[in-house]
Structure 1
Amino acid sequence: EAAAAFEDMMRIGYDDMSAYDYAYSVAYQMNDEAKKLEYSKIAFEKFGTAKPDFLQRIISSYITDKKYDEARELLEKAIQADPKNGTYYYLIGVLYDDKGEKEKSQESFKKAVEIDPENAMANFSYGTSLIQQYERLDEKTGDMSQADYNKYRAETMNPLLKEASVYLEKAYKLDDSMNNALTNLKIVYYNLNDGENLKRVENLLL
């Protein structure tokens, strides 16, 4: 009944943005993906980028349905209209990450942070991508001697973890409810043998 009432509201053209949020919430609680997308599109067409959540919800629906071309096209249009909006590059990073194109996703997350250093999710995602890069490099070291591995780790791999720690710490500073940033920092400090920071992060997770 609530969904039907909100749909009547949309047909009339009611212009209170919060009402469109409530409509989306109803669709979310109904677990109705089609209505979530429909309501988000209507809201985005009406309000544009005045509220970024509307576009983010459309992109999320497209990615869930593996409609990558549609998501990319929409984001490219958004970037053309507002090239200094870091959220758009973050969303492109999410798109590439879902496709398994890790290098492209990392580039997009980095761009998002450069444009908007205070974006917690962009900081988290870029930091996490650096950990993933570390892990990919580690997978290729199986044939190395211990001495060569130690040198490669110190010169090439560990700097990635140190860089990752900067962005993950920033993400947690911006949003202290982001426990996944702390979880990833545990991975970083464990692999860097940084016992002091590891203990600090573990205490924050308690």
Structure 2
Amino acid sequence: MKKQIIIALAFSVCAFSFAQKKELRAVEKAIKGKNYAEAKAALKQAEALMSSMDDKLKAQYYYLNAEALYADGAGSMDDIDAALKSLENVKEGYATEVSELKQTMVNGILTKGNKSYEGKDYSIASKYFEKAYRLSTKDTLFLYYAAATAVNVQEYDRALDLYEELKQLGYTGIEKQYFATNVETGEEEIMDKNTRDLYVKAKSHKNPGERMTESKKPEIVKNVALIYVSKGEDEKALTAMKDARAESPDDVNLILSEANIHYKLGNTKEFKALLEKATQMDPNNPELQYNLGVIAAESGQPEEAKAYYEKAIALDPQYTNAYINLAALILSKEEAMIKEMNGLGSSKKDDLRYDELRAQRQDLYKNAAPYLTKALEIDSKNLGAAKTLMNIYSILDETAKQKEMKAKVDALEAEGVN
């Protein structure tokens, strides 16, 4: 009796094992025929038998499940995530197959990522690049591409997470490049070492060489700082900016970025000091001279401001705002004059002072007008300059010029110029 039971049980187990293998063979057949819907249906049936599968059959199930989900590249991002999780459960055997499937997935994902990038769909491209890295974590370059591409579409929170991950990994992006000059075109070409050596041997290329690429760490640290700036997290931005400047002490743009943060925080002294430092490093930059002029004007140093604006114009004769600010410097003296004129009485002495101030005020307008005229020559749609000139000509009783400028103002406003 006991022998019969044992035999019956053994027969039952064999039948159960046969059913498991049959279902998995059906999955394999469907996948080979690229019928992934049928494969998934067969996997559902096999899943019901999972509890009694041995480790080898479970490994086969999870591997086949990943293949079905990936569907030769047709699977969605969620399907790819599920496929990766399934491959994590392959504990026995299939090492070569798993490695090959992952490489196939990486190649397919990168192809889609590059296609999205070329189509300027940077958000999707970034996600594909990140997915490629998750599949092949030794290829940190993919993570760098994911972060840089996320910045293109201002997905700053995501980019920040990716950049921080790169920093924690100690990523530098430094690699050895192999190159040679194309004999026909005369242009240097970068390629892998074997290809380069083959081309040089075939004499289609000459002057072979190798070099190390520049580190991407300064760029990463800089972008982290700039992302904090864009998010309005100024204190974090300043901390990150110090790290960035430590990496790239000669980067003028980093100094300007830090200066702008200080300006935003009202730290005028620090802002000016950094601008002066940047000016020493880049003395022929008109924008730096202009910004120093703005700070000097706001600090009540009109003569210093005037010198900076004039230097900006000397470096760039087309710098419209410098002309406008020079006119504004001149006209800023008007307020004190008007206040004094309004406070005068009716005595002969007061009348003489009034006439004196009136003449000085008209001199201000005459001195400011050429700068505004030049600004309009450069930027014919500068409504602010046109309005100010119209008012100046009105006060100076230059009727013809006032009418001409009024017509220009009306035309610009009709165009919707602000």
TM-score by length of 2: 0.39
- Is residue 2 of structure 1 aligned with residue 159 of structure 2? yes
CA contact (8 A) 1:93 1:104 kept: yes
Cα displacement (A) at 1:199: 0.9
The answer to whether 1:153 aligns with 2:358 is: yes
Is the contact made by 2:255 and 2:278 (CA closer than 8 Å) also made in structure 1?
A: no
Look up the match of 1:202. 409
Deviations, residues 68-119 of structure 1 (Å, cap 9, x unaligned): 2222222222333333333222111221233344443334323333443221
CA deviation digits over 1:149-172, x for unaligned, max 9? 334433x32232223222223234
Q: Distance in 2 between matches of 1:88 and 1:97?
A: 14
Decide whether aligned partners of structure 1 residues 135 and 114 sit closer, same or farther in structure 2, where only a CA change above 3 A counts: farther
- Kept after mapping to 2: 8 A contact 1:62/1:68: yes
Contact in 2 for aligned 1:89/1:108 (Cα 8 Å)? yes
Q: Distance in 2 between matches of 1:120 and 1:22?
A: 33
Compare relative contact order (CA 8 Å, sep 6+) and give the higher one, 1 or 2.
Answer: 1
- Cα distance in 1 between the residues matched to 2:370 and 2:308: 18
Q: Gaps spanning 5+ residues in structure 1: where?
A: none
TM-superposed deviation, 1:126? 1.3
TM-superposed deviation, 1:34: 4.1
TM-score, normalised with respect to structure 1: 0.69
More strand by share: 2
1:48 aligns with 2:251: yes
Q: Distance in 1 between matches of 2:373 and 2:224?
A: 33
Counterpart Cα distance in 2 of 1:95 and 1:164:
20
Taking only aligned residues, the RMSD between alpha carbons, in angstroms, comes to 3.8
AA aligned opposite 1:48: D
User: Is there any run of 5+ residues in structure 2 with no aligned partner, and where?
Assistant: 1-157, 173-214
- Corresponding residue for 1:78? 278
Q: Which protein is richer in helix relative to its size?
A: 1
Distance 1:173 1:8 in 2: 51
Measured after TM superposition, the shift of residue 175 of structure 1 is 3.6
User: Does residue 121 of the first structure (1) align with residue 321 of the second (2)?
Assistant: yes
Task: Give the 3 Å change call, closer, same or farther, for CA 82–181 of structure 1 in structure 2.
Answer: same
**How far 1:66 moved relative to its partner?**
2.5
Contact map agreement 1:23 1:39 (CA 8 A) in 2: yes
Query: Hey, what's the Cα distance between the residues in 2 that align with 1:45 and 1:181?
Result: 40
Q: Is the Cα–Cα contact under 8 Å of residues 324 and 372 in structure 2 kept in the other structure?
A: yes
Alignment partners' CA distance in 2, 1:193 and 1:8 = 67
1:165 to 365, 369, 372: 369
Matched, 1:33 2:234: yes
> Aligned AA for 1:110?
E
Identity of aligned residues (%): 23
Assess, with a 3 A threshold, how the Cα gap between structure 1 residues 165 and 27 changes in structure 2: closer, same or farther. farther
The Cα shift of 1:65 comes to 1.9
- Cα distance in structure 2, aligned partners of 1:47 and 1:177: 38
Larger Rg: 2
Deviations 1:2-58 (A, max 9, x none): 3334556787453898xx78984x556533334665677638947724x6xx55443
| Paired residues for 1:99-118 under 5 Å | 99-118=299-318
Query: Measured at CA, do residues 47 and 185 of structure 1 come closer, stay the same or move farther in structure 2, by a change above 3 Å?
Result: farther
Q: Which residue of 1 aligns with 2:36?
A: none
Residue number among 71, 88, 92 corresponding to 2:292 in the alignment: 92
CA distance in 2 between partners of 1:99 and 1:16 (Å)? 34
The structure-2 alpha-carbon separation of the partners of 1:170 and 1:149, relative to structure 1 and needing over 3 Å to count, comes to: same
Partner of 2:265: 65
